[in-house]
Structure formats: structure tokens, C-alpha cells
Amino acid sequence: MCGIIGISSNKSVSVSIINSLKKLEYRGYDSAGIATLFDGEITEVKSEGRVNVLEENFDLKNLKGNIGIGHVRWATHGAPNSINAHPHSSDNVSVVHNGIIENSTILKKYLTSKGHIFKSQTDTEVIVHLITENLKTDELDLAITKTLKQLHGSFALGIIFKDSPNLIVGARRGSPLAVGYGPNENYLGSDSYALKAMTNKITYLDDGEFCIIRNDQVLFFNEDGKKINKKIMELSSDESSYEKGEFKHFMAKEIEEQPTTIKTGIKEYIDKTNLDINIYNFPWKVDEINSITLIGCGTAYHSCLMAKYWFENLTQLDVNIDIASEFRYRKNRFKKDSLYIFVSQSGETADTYAALDLCNRNKMKTCAVVNVIESSIARDSNFVLPIHCGPEIGVASTKAFLGQILILYILALKFGDLRKETNKENYKNKIKGLLNLPSLIEKSLLMDNDIQAISSTFNEAKGSMFLGRGFSYPIALEGALKLKELSYVHAEGYPAGEMKHGPLALIEDGMPVVVLAPRDSYYKKTISNMQEVIARGAKVLLITNKSKDEIISENIWETIEVENTNDDLLPFLLTIPLQKLAYYSALQKGYDIDKPRNLAKSVTVE
């Protein structure tokens, strides 16, 4: 989950590398570094902490060179300090790395026996010494091919060489890597976001490939070192989504953008005139699919859980969900009539990609629900459903979550219609409900003062619970996750009916408990569970939808009412106050909301 950048130019590159590293901080921010090649010498400058600390390093001011690599780190091996920060260098090679080298211990023993001396605790340093060792007997391209085959694990690499003053080598296995093209300079980066300020012409490396970048040339090679051709993609030049504008944090901006992003998603998939769903180029007949497995991690897993309820309500399909990090370690019984749906904001989530790769190797039907259509998961799936949210920079997902559940709901609706398991009138009524959703989300966003006043109670408690039934249960899980991610407060989401099967023992006087109880078919049961926790001293924050009916309980601490819509769509509205609760809790504590500790946006390591 680190970020890497490389630039080969005809002018000094250190300022451009630093600017790119600032954009890459959402991938890691516990240390940062840069190495350039000038006058036959590799020079490193590294610092613990954020890129602004590196920027203030006195040595950086004197750093020269028209070729260089940079790195922001999310630590996996070794403490986050300047010694373990990347780049790692020998006398003639310097490397930046995103990923994990699984056989680093074995390689380190081998290299130590050859006389190599290690300075850091990282797995990355073995790559430096391995290349150095292989260069003793092989030319550069052969040494690189040989080195990559000796490495087990995942990596995206940027490499510069003392004896090759005009080139950078990039290599990819598992972790994403992009090449950018500019006038008299070319670039290497973890993703297009890091490169977009310099170019909108991008090529993505596929697994096993490597490239050699010069300021006037880019060459691509397969895993056997044979030259290959790659397509150049032209990306949108719109930069507005990458700026905070009037907002203090990206997360605040992204929460407020949700009416617009949901409207965009609806526009992409809904035919307003005919009240129909347009999903073009679906590569299978609907009767070829009898079961669905939804796969994701973290917030994306909660999207999958949400979709399970919809698919089960709207179709007769068998529906399973899987946490991606567990999927490929079980004995899966693949069936030809199954559709596997992979959900990922970045489209680069390592565990999810590994699950996709396993399905592809077993020739399964695969579909990606992603925010980045150029991503690895999108490129390697049979079919792609983009969520059309635009870049999400805040590490804690907000608008991408609503985007994911929107597209999954639309897909479930379409399956129900095609399979004739949802009657036509009901189908059209649900589409009408969808068309009203953006305005309902906009109204539900107008509750900042109420949420700010409530959030301090969650900060002062040693823990909290989020409860829901049916459609509300995945939202309870997501609400608890957001509070954990941003405020570092212990929070757990539970099905409300599970409280009496153990978790009720944790309830004590004054403990904040969020109860999601919209007036749906689960309402009375959820209110009954709420009374159980109130009786044991909990301070209940009830989140429901507006109604003339009184709530069936007394002694509720606080109540928030969202707008009314059909039961299917209430989860969208219930999510909004939970996002704001997490945001304001972190704001009160003075935490870095866009970059919570120990986390990174794109999880590209297992």
C-alpha cells in the first residue's frame, strides 16, 4: 500500500517527484524518500513521517538529477523510520517498492553469504542486493528478468542504476503500476492520479511485465524479457475532483458530493423515459446464471452483504458473499452457472484481485464493480460495471460505498426483471424510487448540527455498538467501521437480534448504542431489541425515517430521522448520518481525517 513515482527527463526532477508524492500520500504516509542520479552518483534523501517533512529536509534543496524515483510508505516490514524508508540503495542500484517479498528471508541469507551487508529491516532491500548480484554476470535487461523470477510475492518496482544514467526500470506483479508519457520526459507511477498533473497519456503494466523508461523512449517486456507492444490510453484532463475546494477535508467534500455521484450513476444506467435499466453488452444469457457470489474487503464487503439482501428479495438466485482475503484459501466448488462479482473502489485491492485471478484460472464468469475502469480488476474481469463516482481521495470510503450499493441494487433489479421474478409494475415503481434518491440524500445531508452535538459522547466512551436488522445490518457494520477508522474508538456492528446471544454482556451504563430502525418490516423487532439495551443503561441514538407514528419506546437518548422512501432504498439514507458521525467525532479529536493512522486507500498487499 505504498506509492511510487519515477521520472526520466531532460531537466531536474526532484520538485516534480515531491509534488507527485504529495498526491500519493493516500497510499501511505509513515515515511517518504527520493533518490536521484547525478554526475554518476545515486543520492538518497529520506525522512520519517509525511512528505512535508521530507520537503523540509535540508539535503533535498541540493538534490540534482534529471532522473529519479520517489516513495511514500505504508510499513509492512520494519518500523516506519528513515532507515526503513524507501528508496533502498547499494553503490550502483536504488529501488522503490510497493508490495511484499515473501521469500525475503531466504534471499537475505543467500545474499549475506555473498558478502552483501543489509542496513534496514525491510524485505525490499533484498531486491537491491539481488539486482546488484545479478548485474555482476548479466546485462541489465537479463539481470532484471532473472531477478524478477527469483522474487516471490507481489511488487511494483521503480529502479535506477549508477551505470545507466538515462533510464528507469519499472516492474509489476500483483501491485499496480502505470507509465505516463510527456514531452522530453516519461514517468512511472503507482496510478494515474500521481501522474495526472504531468500527463493524461497512460499505459498500465500487466502482471509479470516490466518496462525501461528513458526521457524520449519507453520499452515494454514480458516476464521472459521479450519486447511487447502496449496500448496508450488517454484519460480525462479534469482535475477538479482531485482538489478539496472550499472543504477542509476530502472526506467532507466526498460526503457532500453523494447526491451528484448517485445522480450520475442513475443517469448512466437508468432509462428515465421507459423506466428501464440499461446494462449493455452483458456477455451471458440470464438463464446461464443460477447463483451469484459477491466478493470484497472492508467497506466493499459491506456492499456485498447489502447486495445479498437485494438479490434474495428480487430474484430466486442462490446468493453467497465472501471476504476476499479468505476466498482463495478455501476449497471452492466452482460451478459453470455461477457469476462471481468483485467489488473494489480502487480496482487494485490485492486480496480481491487474487480471488478474481483464481476464478479466471477456473474459467468462471466474472464481473467487476469498480470506481477505476483502468484498474487491474476491471481489465481482468469478463464484464465491468463502473460506479461513476469520480476519484475518492479520503481513505475512509463514503461516496464509493453508496456508488457500489447503487450499482449492485440496479443489477439485482435488472436480474429480477429479466428472470421475470419481479413483476413489471413493481420493477417500474422501484426505478421511480431510484430517480428520487439523489434529492432525498441531499435532504438527509442537512443534519450537521445534530450530529456534531452527538459525536462527543462517542469520543468519551470506551466503546460503542451499532445495531440493525435486515437491510440495516450491513449499514450498522459500515457505521461501526467508519467510527473505528477515523476516531480510533472501539465500535462493533451486530444484527440487533444477536444482542441477547452474547454481546448484551458488554452493555453498561452510559454506553452509546446506535440503533438503525427504519419503519420497515423489521421495525417492531428492532425496537424490541433496542428496549433490551436501554434497560441495561445504554444511551441509544435511534436512526429511523420520518413518520407520523410515535416511536414505541421511552428513554431514547437522541433520535435522527432521515427522509422517507421505499424499504429497498432506506439503507442509502441511513448511511449519511453514520458517515457524518464518524467525521465529526474525528474532527473533535483533531485527527487527520483524510489519512487515518495505520491505513491507506488502496490496499495492494495481502
Reported as a single tens digit per residue, the pLDDT across 379-396 is 999 999 999 998 898 989
Q: Which pLDDT value is given to residue 235?
A: 76
Residue (of 345, 303, 253) closest to 594 by Cα position: 253
Least confident range of 9-18, 368-377, 497-506: 497-506
The residues near 18 (Cβ < 8 Å, ≥ 6 apart) are 34, 51, 54, 55, 60, 70
**Residue 552, pLDDT above cutoff 80:** no
Q: Which pLDDT value is given to residue 237?
A: 58
Residue 208: give its domain's CATH number. 3.60.20.10
Whether residue 601 lies inside any domain: the answer is no
Tracing cell 430521522 back to the chain, one arrives at 561
Categorize the per-residue pLDDT at 239 as very low, low, confident or very high, splitting at 50, 70 and 90: low
Least confident range of 108-122, 180-194, 360-374, 576-590: 180-194
Instruction: Please check whether residue 491 is in contact with residue 464, taking contact to mean a CB–CB distance below 8 angstroms.
Output: yes
**What backbone phi and psi angles, to 5 degrees, belong to 7?**
-135, 130
Residue type, 207: D
The residue from 422, 444, 466 where one domain ends is 444
Mean pLDDT of 329-334: 89
Residues 467 and 392 in one domain: no
**Residue 448, pLDDT above cutoff 90:** no
Where is 136: in which H helix or E strand?
none
Into how many domains does the chain fold? 3
- Its pTM surpasses 0.85: no
Mean pLDDT of 40-49: 91
Residue 293: give its domain's CATH number. 3.40.50.10490
Whether residue 543 lies inside any domain: the answer is yes
Whether residue 602 lies inside any domain: the answer is no
Whether residue 597 lies inside any domain: the answer is no
**Residues paired with 342 in a beta bridge:** 295, 368
Residues 171 and 226 in one domain: yes
What digits encode the pLDDT tens for the residues 467-485?
999 999 999 999 999 999 9
Q: Which pLDDT value is given to residue 605?
A: 59
Residues 429 and 457 in one domain: no
Mean pLDDT of 583-604: 84
Whether residue 598 lies inside any domain: the answer is no
Q: What is the mean pLDDT of the chain?
A: 91
Residue (of 22, 84, 78, 75) closest to 47 by Cα position: 84
Q: State the residue range of the domain holding 472.
A: 448-589
C-alpha distances out from residue 215 to 68, 189, 222, 231, Å: 11, 15, 21, 19
What digits encode the pLDDT tens for the residues 526-545?
998 898 899 898 999 999 99
Separation between Cα atoms, residue 173 and residue 148, nearest integer Å:
9
Q: How long, in residues, is the chain? A: 606
Q: Which of 2, 211, 304, 359 is catalytic?
A: 2
Mean pLDDT of 1-5: 85
Residues 61 and 202 in one domain: yes
Mean pLDDT of 48-72: 88
**Residues paired with 41 in a beta bridge:** 38
The answer to whether the peptide bond before residue 87 is cis (omega within 30 degrees of 0) is yes
Whether residue 347 lies inside any domain: the answer is yes
Helix, strand, coil percentages in the chain from 3-state DSSP, rounded to 5 = 40, 25, 35
Residues 501 and 566 in one domain: yes
Residues 262 and 208 in one domain: no
Residues 212 and 186 in one domain: yes
Q: Which of 365, 580, 595, 601 is catalytic?
A: 601
Residues 161 and 228 in one domain: yes
Q: Which pLDDT value is given to residue 3?
A: 87
The residue from 444, 471, 492 where one domain ends is 444
Whether residue 242 lies inside any domain: the answer is no
Whether residue 604 lies inside any domain: the answer is no
Listing DSSP states for 291-338 in one string gives EEEEEE-HHHHHHHHHHHHHHHHH---EEEEEEHHHHTTS-----TTE
Q: Outline where DSSP puts E strands in 324-410.
A: 338-344, 365-370, 383-386
The residue from 418, 444, 470 where one domain ends is 444
Residues 283 and 401 in one domain: yes
Separation between Cα atoms, residue 380 and residue 527, nearest integer Å:
45
Separation between Cα atoms, residue 555 and residue 79, nearest integer Å:
48
**Residue 515, pLDDT above cutoff 80:** yes
User: Can 389 be counted among the known catalytic residues?
Assistant: no
Residues 323 and 352 in one domain: yes
Residues 220 and 256 in one domain: no
Q: Is 83 left (phi over 0), alpha (psi -120 to 50) or beta?
A: alpha
Residues 307 and 440 in one domain: yes
For CA atoms 379, 384, 385, 388, give the dihedral sign: positive
Q: Is 48 helix (H, G, I), strand (E, B) or coil?
A: strand
The residues near 502 (Cβ < 8 Å, ≥ 6 apart) are none
User: Can 601 be counted among the known catalytic residues?
Assistant: yes
